[in-house]
Structure 1
């Protein structure tokens, strides 16, 4: 089982090295190969977004605005 897992990891390393988007994402501090691959798969075709501001809402990272009387609170959704 360990041999198969090591073989798979080697294949994934090779795959990541051959895809420029994944290589570019791994240059961000704290972003490793697995995170870059997951982000690349989640986004798929970045050209389908009108601009970069649409990406956070697609990923569910939108802000939520709550208003009560004269109090205006803006909190990020977890």
Structure 2
């Protein structure tokens, strides 16, 4: 399904951000982007570059591949 990987990355990013106690605004500030941009990433509306994915993963301390894996929420 087109765009599904973007949605998976967004869900994983939001989960990891919340687990680490970052607000969307604080996280966006660190990344040097606007909060609304981060919101659109988390909703799967933005297509990230691999470089941006690596930067985000480095900041939250996870392997970038973890953000690409679909996690069963049940």
- TM-score bucket of the superposed structures, by smaller chain: 0.3 to 0.5
TM-score by length of structure 1 reads: 0.32
Higher strand share: 1
TM-score by length of structure 2 reads: 0.34
Higher helix share: 2
User: Rg bigger for which structure?
Assistant: 1
